[in-house]
Amino acid sequence: MSKDVFKKIKKKPIIGSLLILSTILFLLCLSFIAVILALSPNDNITENVQLVHKALLKNDLEESLLLSKKILSNPNRLLEEGNIERFSSDSPNNVNVNSLGYGMKNNNTNSSVELSPSMDSFLKEREFSTKDLDEISEKLDSITERLDEPIHSTFGKKVVYVYHSHSRESFLPYLREEDPKDAFHSKVNITMVGQMLERALKQRGIGTQADSTDIVQLLDDRGLIYDSSYKISREVAISAMDESKDLEIFIDIHRDSLRREATTISIKGESHAKLLFVIGTGHKDYQKNKKFAEAINSLIEKNYPGLSKGVLEKDKKQGNGVYNQDLSPNAMIVEIGGVDNNLEELNRTVRVLSDMISEYYWHGETKTVN
Protein backbone atom coordinates (compact mmCIF):
# COMPACT_ATOMS: atom_id res chain seq x y z
CA MET A 1 0.00 0.00 0.00
CA SER A 2 1.53 3.34 -1.05
CA LYS A 3 2.00 6.29 1.31
CA ASP A 4 -0.61 8.38 -0.57
CA VAL A 5 -3.22 5.68 -0.18
CA PHE A 6 -2.32 5.28 3.50
CA LYS A 7 -2.75 9.04 4.03
CA LYS A 8 -6.19 8.96 2.36
CA ILE A 9 -7.28 6.10 4.63
CA LYS A 10 -6.16 8.06 7.70
CA LYS A 11 -8.21 11.02 6.52
CA LYS A 12 -11.24 8.76 5.80
CA PRO A 13 -11.42 6.12 8.53
CA ILE A 14 -14.68 4.68 7.11
CA ILE A 15 -12.95 3.68 3.87
CA GLY A 16 -10.12 2.13 5.81
CA SER A 17 -12.53 0.12 7.92
CA LEU A 18 -14.36 -1.15 4.85
CA LEU A 19 -11.11 -2.25 3.19
CA ILE A 20 -9.98 -4.09 6.29
CA LEU A 21 -13.40 -5.71 6.69
CA SER A 22 -13.52 -6.85 3.06
CA THR A 23 -10.00 -8.30 3.38
CA ILE A 24 -11.04 -10.25 6.46
CA LEU A 25 -14.17 -11.57 4.73
CA PHE A 26 -12.13 -12.66 1.71
CA LEU A 27 -9.71 -14.54 3.93
CA LEU A 28 -12.59 -16.19 5.78
CA CYS A 29 -14.10 -17.35 2.48
CA LEU A 30 -10.78 -18.88 1.42
CA SER A 31 -10.50 -20.64 4.77
CA PHE A 32 -14.06 -21.97 4.43
CA ILE A 33 -13.37 -23.34 0.96
CA ALA A 34 -10.16 -24.98 2.17
CA VAL A 35 -12.02 -26.68 5.02
CA ILE A 36 -14.72 -27.99 2.64
CA LEU A 37 -12.10 -29.41 0.27
CA ALA A 38 -10.20 -31.02 3.12
CA LEU A 39 -13.35 -32.71 4.37
CA SER A 40 -14.42 -33.93 0.90
CA PRO A 41 -13.30 -37.46 -0.13
CA ASN A 42 -10.46 -37.23 -2.64
CA ASP A 43 -11.79 -40.29 -4.43
CA ASN A 44 -15.03 -38.49 -5.29
CA ILE A 45 -13.14 -35.52 -6.69
CA THR A 46 -10.89 -37.79 -8.75
CA GLU A 47 -13.87 -39.79 -9.93
CA ASN A 48 -15.72 -36.64 -11.05
CA VAL A 49 -12.66 -35.43 -12.94
CA GLN A 50 -12.36 -38.81 -14.64
CA LEU A 51 -16.03 -38.78 -15.58
CA VAL A 52 -15.68 -35.34 -17.15
CA HIS A 53 -12.54 -36.49 -18.97
CA LYS A 54 -14.29 -39.56 -20.34
CA ALA A 55 -17.28 -37.49 -21.41
CA LEU A 56 -15.02 -35.18 -23.39
CA LEU A 57 -13.26 -38.12 -25.00
CA LYS A 58 -16.55 -39.62 -26.10
CA ASN A 59 -17.23 -36.51 -28.16
CA ASP A 60 -14.25 -37.44 -30.31
CA LEU A 61 -15.68 -40.81 -31.32
CA GLU A 62 -16.75 -41.17 -34.93
CA GLU A 63 -20.13 -42.57 -34.01
CA SER A 64 -22.28 -41.55 -31.06
CA LEU A 65 -23.90 -44.26 -28.98
CA LEU A 66 -27.65 -44.46 -29.28
CA LEU A 67 -29.50 -44.08 -25.99
CA SER A 68 -31.36 -47.32 -26.57
CA LYS A 69 -28.27 -49.36 -27.49
CA LYS A 70 -24.87 -50.17 -26.00
CA ILE A 71 -21.98 -51.18 -28.18
CA LEU A 72 -20.29 -54.03 -26.41
CA SER A 73 -16.74 -55.26 -26.01
CA ASN A 74 -16.53 -57.36 -29.19
CA PRO A 75 -16.97 -55.88 -32.67
CA ASN A 76 -20.21 -57.75 -33.29
CA ARG A 77 -21.88 -57.22 -29.96
CA LEU A 78 -25.07 -55.20 -29.73
CA LEU A 79 -27.26 -54.93 -26.66
CA GLU A 80 -30.70 -53.49 -27.09
CA GLU A 81 -33.58 -53.05 -24.71
CA GLY A 82 -35.09 -56.52 -24.81
CA ASN A 83 -34.04 -59.51 -26.87
CA ILE A 84 -32.21 -59.42 -30.19
CA GLU A 85 -30.88 -62.18 -32.40
CA ARG A 86 -27.51 -62.19 -34.04
CA PHE A 87 -28.81 -64.22 -36.95
CA SER A 88 -32.15 -65.42 -38.08
CA SER A 89 -32.36 -68.83 -39.71
CA ASP A 90 -33.38 -67.25 -43.01
CA SER A 91 -30.60 -64.64 -43.09
CA PRO A 92 -29.46 -64.17 -46.70
CA ASN A 93 -25.93 -64.88 -47.88
CA ASN A 94 -24.96 -66.84 -44.80
CA VAL A 95 -23.96 -70.50 -44.72
CA ASN A 96 -25.32 -72.66 -41.92
CA VAL A 97 -26.64 -69.69 -40.00
CA ASN A 98 -27.71 -70.42 -36.45
CA SER A 99 -30.04 -68.36 -34.28
CA LEU A 100 -27.39 -67.15 -31.86
CA GLY A 101 -28.55 -64.34 -29.60
CA TYR A 102 -26.44 -61.46 -28.41
CA GLY A 103 -29.14 -59.74 -26.42
CA MET A 104 -30.81 -60.19 -23.07
CA LYS A 105 -30.85 -63.71 -21.70
CA ASN A 106 -33.84 -65.80 -22.67
CA ASN A 107 -34.77 -69.46 -22.93
CA ASN A 108 -32.44 -69.99 -25.87
CA THR A 109 -29.30 -71.67 -24.53
CA ASN A 110 -27.24 -69.87 -27.16
CA SER A 111 -28.26 -66.45 -25.84
CA SER A 112 -26.30 -64.46 -23.32
CA VAL A 113 -26.15 -61.08 -21.65
CA GLU A 114 -23.21 -59.16 -23.01
CA LEU A 115 -21.74 -56.44 -20.83
CA SER A 116 -19.20 -53.79 -21.77
CA PRO A 117 -16.48 -53.79 -19.09
CA SER A 118 -14.76 -50.56 -18.08
CA MET A 119 -11.14 -49.87 -19.01
CA ASP A 120 -10.21 -50.79 -15.44
CA SER A 121 -11.53 -54.29 -16.11
CA PHE A 122 -9.39 -54.69 -19.24
CA LEU A 123 -6.30 -53.36 -17.46
CA LYS A 124 -6.74 -55.59 -14.42
CA GLU A 125 -3.98 -58.19 -14.20
CA ARG A 126 -5.81 -61.41 -13.41
CA GLU A 127 -4.13 -64.22 -11.54
CA PHE A 128 -1.74 -66.14 -13.73
CA SER A 129 1.68 -67.60 -12.97
CA THR A 130 4.90 -67.66 -14.99
CA LYS A 131 4.82 -71.45 -14.72
CA ASP A 132 1.43 -71.48 -16.44
CA LEU A 133 2.81 -69.29 -19.22
CA ASP A 134 5.76 -71.64 -19.73
CA GLU A 135 3.39 -74.61 -19.94
CA ILE A 136 1.32 -72.82 -22.58
CA SER A 137 4.45 -72.02 -24.61
CA GLU A 138 5.42 -75.69 -24.50
CA LYS A 139 1.88 -76.63 -25.50
CA LEU A 140 2.01 -74.29 -28.50
CA ASP A 141 5.30 -75.84 -29.60
CA SER A 142 3.97 -79.37 -29.17
CA ILE A 143 0.93 -78.79 -31.38
CA THR A 144 2.86 -77.15 -34.20
CA GLU A 145 2.42 -79.05 -37.45
CA ARG A 146 5.25 -80.89 -39.11
CA LEU A 147 4.67 -80.42 -42.84
CA ASP A 148 6.73 -81.11 -45.91
CA GLU A 149 8.27 -78.21 -47.76
CA PRO A 150 5.45 -76.22 -49.43
CA ILE A 151 4.98 -76.49 -53.17
CA HIS A 152 4.28 -72.77 -53.44
CA SER A 153 6.10 -69.84 -51.86
CA THR A 154 5.92 -66.07 -51.65
CA PHE A 155 9.75 -66.12 -51.56
CA GLY A 156 10.25 -64.02 -48.47
CA LYS A 157 7.44 -61.60 -49.14
CA LYS A 158 4.94 -61.15 -46.32
CA VAL A 159 1.54 -60.94 -47.95
CA VAL A 160 -0.77 -61.63 -44.99
CA TYR A 161 -1.09 -59.32 -41.99
CA VAL A 162 -2.70 -60.70 -38.82
CA TYR A 163 -3.62 -58.33 -36.00
CA HIS A 164 -6.02 -57.93 -33.08
CA SER A 165 -8.17 -54.86 -32.40
CA HIS A 166 -9.26 -56.46 -29.10
CA SER A 167 -5.87 -57.83 -28.18
CA ARG A 168 -6.62 -58.85 -24.57
CA GLU A 169 -9.52 -61.19 -25.34
CA SER A 170 -8.58 -64.35 -23.47
CA PHE A 171 -9.75 -67.86 -22.68
CA LEU A 172 -11.12 -69.07 -19.35
CA PRO A 173 -9.34 -72.48 -19.34
CA TYR A 174 -6.07 -70.60 -18.78
CA LEU A 175 -7.31 -68.05 -16.25
CA ARG A 176 -8.42 -68.50 -12.68
CA GLU A 177 -11.77 -66.99 -13.62
CA GLU A 178 -15.20 -68.38 -14.45
CA ASP A 179 -17.15 -65.37 -15.71
CA PRO A 180 -16.85 -64.51 -19.45
CA LYS A 181 -16.65 -60.82 -18.59
CA ASP A 182 -13.34 -61.58 -16.85
CA ALA A 183 -11.82 -63.37 -19.85
CA PHE A 184 -9.17 -60.74 -20.58
CA HIS A 185 -5.42 -60.89 -20.03
CA SER A 186 -2.37 -58.89 -21.10
CA LYS A 187 -0.27 -61.94 -22.04
CA VAL A 188 -2.46 -65.03 -22.36
CA ASN A 189 -4.87 -63.86 -25.03
CA ILE A 190 -6.05 -63.93 -28.63
CA THR A 191 -2.60 -62.92 -29.91
CA MET A 192 -1.53 -66.55 -29.32
CA VAL A 193 -4.05 -67.58 -31.97
CA GLY A 194 -2.61 -64.98 -34.33
CA GLN A 195 0.83 -66.53 -33.83
CA MET A 196 -0.64 -69.96 -34.60
CA LEU A 197 -2.07 -68.65 -37.87
CA GLU A 198 1.21 -66.97 -38.77
CA ARG A 199 3.11 -70.26 -38.37
CA ALA A 200 0.46 -72.29 -40.18
CA LEU A 201 0.39 -69.97 -43.21
CA LYS A 202 4.18 -69.84 -43.39
CA GLN A 203 4.23 -73.64 -43.45
CA ARG A 204 1.97 -73.41 -46.49
CA GLY A 205 4.36 -71.04 -48.29
CA ILE A 206 2.47 -67.83 -47.49
CA GLY A 207 4.61 -65.15 -45.88
CA THR A 208 2.72 -63.78 -42.88
CA GLN A 209 3.25 -61.12 -40.24
CA ALA A 210 1.37 -61.51 -36.95
CA ASP A 211 1.20 -58.34 -34.87
CA SER A 212 0.83 -58.65 -31.08
CA THR A 213 0.45 -54.98 -30.17
CA ASP A 214 -1.30 -54.47 -26.83
CA ILE A 215 -4.11 -52.21 -28.04
CA VAL A 216 -5.60 -51.87 -24.55
CA GLN A 217 -2.30 -50.53 -23.18
CA LEU A 218 -2.09 -47.99 -26.01
CA LEU A 219 -5.66 -46.89 -25.25
CA ASP A 220 -4.76 -46.40 -21.60
CA ASP A 221 -1.55 -44.53 -22.47
CA ARG A 222 -3.59 -42.07 -24.53
CA GLY A 223 -6.45 -41.78 -22.08
CA LEU A 224 -8.89 -43.33 -24.57
CA ILE A 225 -11.80 -45.67 -23.94
CA TYR A 226 -12.38 -49.16 -25.36
CA ASP A 227 -14.67 -47.90 -28.12
CA SER A 228 -11.56 -46.38 -29.74
CA SER A 229 -9.89 -49.79 -30.22
CA TYR A 230 -10.39 -49.78 -34.00
CA LYS A 231 -8.86 -46.31 -34.28
CA ILE A 232 -5.69 -47.53 -32.62
CA SER A 233 -5.53 -50.83 -34.53
CA ARG A 234 -6.03 -48.85 -37.75
CA GLU A 235 -2.87 -46.88 -36.99
CA VAL A 236 -1.02 -50.15 -36.38
CA ALA A 237 -2.26 -51.65 -39.66
CA ILE A 238 -1.45 -48.52 -41.68
CA SER A 239 2.06 -48.49 -40.20
CA ALA A 240 2.52 -52.09 -41.37
CA MET A 241 1.25 -51.18 -44.83
CA ASP A 242 3.74 -48.31 -45.03
CA GLU A 243 6.59 -50.66 -44.11
CA SER A 244 5.57 -53.43 -46.52
CA LYS A 245 3.89 -52.81 -49.85
CA ASP A 246 3.55 -56.58 -50.38
CA LEU A 247 0.71 -57.02 -47.86
CA GLU A 248 -2.48 -58.18 -49.58
CA ILE A 249 -4.64 -59.82 -46.90
CA PHE A 250 -5.57 -58.29 -43.54
CA ILE A 251 -7.14 -60.50 -40.85
CA ASP A 252 -8.33 -59.05 -37.56
CA ILE A 253 -8.71 -62.05 -35.23
CA HIS A 254 -11.10 -62.07 -32.27
CA ARG A 255 -12.76 -64.65 -30.06
CA ASP A 256 -16.47 -64.89 -29.30
CA SER A 257 -17.99 -64.14 -25.89
CA LEU A 258 -20.51 -66.97 -26.11
CA ARG A 259 -20.08 -70.17 -24.09
CA ARG A 260 -18.72 -73.51 -25.22
CA GLU A 261 -21.91 -75.04 -26.62
CA ALA A 262 -22.19 -72.20 -29.14
CA THR A 263 -18.51 -72.04 -30.13
CA THR A 264 -17.45 -75.69 -30.40
CA ILE A 265 -18.12 -78.51 -32.86
CA SER A 266 -16.88 -82.09 -33.16
CA ILE A 267 -15.41 -83.03 -36.53
CA LYS A 268 -14.11 -86.56 -37.12
CA GLY A 269 -14.10 -87.17 -33.39
CA GLU A 270 -12.09 -84.06 -32.51
CA SER A 271 -13.47 -80.84 -31.06
CA HIS A 272 -12.86 -77.66 -33.03
CA ALA A 273 -13.46 -74.01 -32.22
CA LYS A 274 -16.12 -72.55 -34.51
CA LEU A 275 -15.44 -69.70 -36.91
CA LEU A 276 -17.38 -66.55 -37.75
CA PHE A 277 -16.55 -63.99 -40.44
CA VAL A 278 -17.60 -60.38 -39.84
CA ILE A 279 -17.84 -57.79 -42.61
CA GLY A 280 -18.56 -54.12 -41.97
CA THR A 281 -20.95 -52.51 -44.45
CA GLY A 282 -20.12 -48.97 -43.37
CA HIS A 283 -17.88 -48.15 -46.33
CA LYS A 284 -18.60 -47.98 -50.05
CA ASP A 285 -16.48 -50.95 -51.16
CA TYR A 286 -17.61 -53.48 -48.54
CA GLN A 287 -18.95 -55.84 -51.25
CA LYS A 288 -15.33 -56.65 -52.18
CA ASN A 289 -14.57 -57.60 -48.58
CA LYS A 290 -17.75 -59.64 -48.46
CA LYS A 291 -16.79 -61.49 -51.64
CA PHE A 292 -13.41 -62.35 -50.11
CA ALA A 293 -14.91 -63.60 -46.81
CA GLU A 294 -17.60 -65.59 -48.59
CA ALA A 295 -15.00 -67.31 -50.76
CA ILE A 296 -13.05 -68.52 -47.71
CA ASN A 297 -16.26 -69.40 -45.88
CA SER A 298 -17.53 -71.46 -48.83
CA LEU A 299 -14.30 -73.49 -48.95
CA ILE A 300 -14.62 -74.20 -45.23
CA GLU A 301 -18.26 -75.17 -45.49
CA LYS A 302 -17.50 -77.47 -48.43
CA ASN A 303 -14.70 -79.31 -46.63
CA TYR A 304 -15.74 -78.94 -42.96
CA PRO A 305 -19.53 -78.49 -42.79
CA GLY A 306 -20.68 -76.70 -39.66
CA LEU A 307 -17.27 -75.36 -38.63
CA SER A 308 -18.17 -71.85 -39.76
CA LYS A 309 -21.23 -69.95 -38.57
CA GLY A 310 -21.20 -67.94 -41.79
CA VAL A 311 -20.53 -64.37 -42.85
CA LEU A 312 -22.11 -61.72 -40.64
CA GLU A 313 -22.64 -58.23 -42.06
CA LYS A 314 -22.68 -55.29 -39.64
CA ASP A 315 -23.46 -51.65 -40.30
CA LYS A 316 -22.65 -48.56 -38.27
CA LYS A 317 -25.86 -48.88 -36.27
CA GLN A 318 -24.58 -52.21 -34.93
CA GLY A 319 -21.05 -51.19 -34.05
CA ASN A 320 -18.02 -49.66 -35.73
CA GLY A 321 -19.40 -50.64 -39.14
CA VAL A 322 -16.06 -50.41 -40.99
CA TYR A 323 -13.58 -52.33 -38.84
CA ASN A 324 -10.67 -50.98 -40.93
CA GLN A 325 -11.80 -53.09 -43.86
CA ASP A 326 -11.72 -50.06 -46.13
CA LEU A 327 -7.92 -50.43 -46.08
CA SER A 328 -8.02 -53.46 -48.38
CA PRO A 329 -10.59 -55.47 -50.37
CA ASN A 330 -9.05 -58.56 -48.75
CA ALA A 331 -9.66 -57.47 -45.15
CA MET A 332 -12.01 -59.16 -42.70
CA ILE A 333 -12.66 -59.99 -39.07
CA VAL A 334 -12.44 -63.67 -38.13
CA GLU A 335 -13.75 -64.83 -34.78
CA ILE A 336 -12.13 -68.09 -33.72
CA GLY A 337 -13.73 -69.94 -30.83
CA GLY A 338 -15.05 -68.44 -27.62
CA VAL A 339 -14.18 -67.89 -23.98
CA ASP A 340 -14.28 -71.63 -23.15
CA ASN A 341 -12.16 -73.04 -25.96
CA ASN A 342 -8.67 -74.42 -25.36
CA LEU A 343 -5.48 -74.21 -27.41
CA GLU A 344 -5.90 -77.62 -29.02
CA GLU A 345 -9.38 -76.73 -30.31
CA LEU A 346 -8.23 -73.32 -31.48
CA ASN A 347 -5.21 -74.81 -33.24
CA ARG A 348 -7.26 -77.42 -35.10
CA THR A 349 -9.45 -74.66 -36.48
CA VAL A 350 -6.45 -72.47 -37.32
CA ARG A 351 -5.06 -75.32 -39.43
CA VAL A 352 -8.32 -75.57 -41.33
CA LEU A 353 -8.47 -71.80 -41.83
CA SER A 354 -4.87 -71.70 -43.05
CA ASP A 355 -5.57 -74.55 -45.48
CA MET A 356 -8.55 -72.70 -46.93
CA ILE A 357 -6.72 -69.36 -47.13
CA SER A 358 -3.85 -71.15 -48.84
CA GLU A 359 -6.22 -72.83 -51.31
CA TYR A 360 -7.82 -69.49 -52.09
CA TYR A 361 -4.52 -67.60 -52.31
CA TRP A 362 -2.81 -70.01 -54.67
CA HIS A 363 -5.81 -71.09 -56.72
CA GLY A 364 -8.50 -68.48 -56.05
CA GLU A 365 -9.10 -64.87 -56.87
CA THR A 366 -7.10 -62.84 -54.34
CA LYS A 367 -5.02 -61.22 -57.04
CA THR A 368 -8.06 -60.21 -59.11
CA VAL A 369 -10.25 -58.70 -56.35
CA ASN A 370 -9.94 -55.00 -57.17
Distance CA 194, CA 253 (A): 7
Distance CA 98, CA 114 (A): 18
pLDDT in tens, 18-39: 667 777 777 776 666 665 555 5
- Output the pLDDT for position 318: 84
Strand 331-336 versus strand 308-314 pairing type:
unpaired
- pLDDT over 70 (residue 254): yes
Nearest to 122 by CA among 169, 77, 164: 169
- Output the pLDDT for position 178: 82
pLDDT in tens, 258-310: 999 999 999 999 999 999 999 999 999 999 999 999 999 999 999 999 999 99
Select, from the ranges 68-82, 130-144, 285-299, the one with the highest average predicted confidence (pLDDT): 285-299
pLDDT in tens, 320-349: 899 999 999 999 999 999 999 999 999 999
Nearest to 340 by CA among 256, 252, 245: 256
Nearest to 235 by CA among 210, 213, 208: 213
pLDDT in tens, 208-227: 999 999 999 999 999 999 88
Listed in sequence order, the DSSP H helices in the chain are: 3-11, 13-39, 42-58, 119-123, 130-142, 191-203, 215-222, 229-243, 260-263, 286-303, 343-363
Q: What is the mean pLDDT of the chain?
A: 74
Q: Comparing 99 with 129, which gets the higher pLDDT? A: 129
- pLDDT over 90 (residue 1): no
- Render 306-345 in DSSP notation, one character per residue: TSEEEEEEE-GGGS-S-TTGGG-TTEEEEEE--TT--HHH
Over residues 81-91, the mean pLDDT reads 30
- Output the pLDDT for position 108: 36
Q: φ and ψ at 188, to 5 degrees?
A: -90, 95
At 66, the pLDDT band (50, 70, 90 cuts) reads very low
Distance CA 336, CA 195 (A): 13
The CATH number of the structural domain formed by 119-368 is: 3.40.630
Q: Which helix (H) or strand (E) holds 264?
A: strand 264-267
Sequence length of the chain is 370
- Output the pLDDT for position 62: 36
Could you state, in order of their start, the residue ranges of all structural domains in the chain?
A: 3-39, 119-368
